[in-house]
Amino acid sequence: MFLGHFALAFAAKRKAPKASLGALIAAAQVPDLIWPVLVLTGAETVRIDPGNTAVTPLDFVSYPWSHSLLMDAVWAVLAGLTYFAFKRDRAGAVWIGLLVLSHWVLDWISHRPDMPLWPGGPKVGLGLWESVPATVAVEGALFIAGVWLYATGTRALDRIGGRALWTLAGFLGALYAGNLLGPPPPDARVVAWADAGALLILAWAAWADRHRAPVGMGGRDGA
């Protein structure tokens, strides 16, 4: 999935009001933040295969360290513990961990059976990506619900707090449409470098969140 990961991060702000939206989105994207490094170093493999599924031309040949259920559980525990060590926010740490693990669950729903349970283990996947209409309907509904939960659970402290949020949501929607409608990428390295560009989105989300506060709380609790 793409928008689905962001949707859960937006929604999680309701349960972890002290956590930055940037941190929540980073947690939901941890496997995809690890994956480009492993692809570029040759530890994991993806190839361009137009028609592999109806939604994406990518064939995820091997990604046991970034996307297996076992390793994502490990990354979830490490992310939650690291967040708690720095922030001492128990609720935030729990939701950071859950968001990391949710990445595998959403990808399991989307992918054909290429999601490993553990490195070298069996691969599973429900194959939502075999249907473009179903994929758009599911991801669109999740994204709208997630952004709505965030927007109604926080309030803008200034003009930036409103504009930055809605431009971020619009940018993510446009990026999603571009991925669906655009041509296949030329090679795997381009895919990996583009995926690493998610760091810009994390900074954008954190910036927007600093200009908002949870409803009923004063100050900049979302920072």
Read off the pLDDT of each residue in 176-197 and give the average, rounded to a whole number.
Answer: 85
- Residue recorded with tokens 């994991």: 44
Please indicate, yes or no, if residue 18 is contained in any of the structural domains. yes
Arithmetic mean of pLDDT over the chain: 93
What does the pLDDT look like over 52-62, one tens digit per residue? Answer: 999 999 999 99
Q: Which residue(s) pair with 62 in the sheet?
A: 45
Of 26, 43, 68, 57, the residue nearest 206 (C-alpha): 26
Q: Are 128 and 109 in contact (CB under 8 A)?
A: yes
- pLDDT of 218 > 60? The answer is no
DSSP-derived letter for residue 31 is H
What does the pLDDT look like over 28-76, one tens digit per residue? Answer: 999 999 999 999 999 999 999 998 999 999 999 999 999 999 999 999 9
List of long-range contacts for 80-86, beta carbons under 8 Å, 24+ apart: 83/19, 83/23, 83/27
Please indicate, yes or no, if residue 26 is contained in any of the structural domains. yes
Contacts with 125 (C-beta within 8 Å, 6 or more apart), sequence order: 107, 108, 110, 111, 112, 113, 114, 115
Please indicate, yes or no, if residue 219 is contained in any of the structural domains. no
Count Cβ atoms below 10 Å from residue 119 Cβ, excluding itself. Answer: 12
Provide the residue range defining the domain that includes 180. 3-214
What does the pLDDT look like over 138-176, one tens digit per residue? Answer: 999 999 999 999 999 999 999 999 999 999 999 999 999
The DSSP bridge pattern shows strands 123-124 and 58-62 to be: unpaired
Please indicate, yes or no, if residue 93 is contained in any of the structural domains. yes
Q: How many domains does the chain have?
A: 1
Please indicate, yes or no, if residue 125 is contained in any of the structural domains. yes
The Cα angle at residue 4 between residues 105 and 164, in degrees rounded to 5: 140
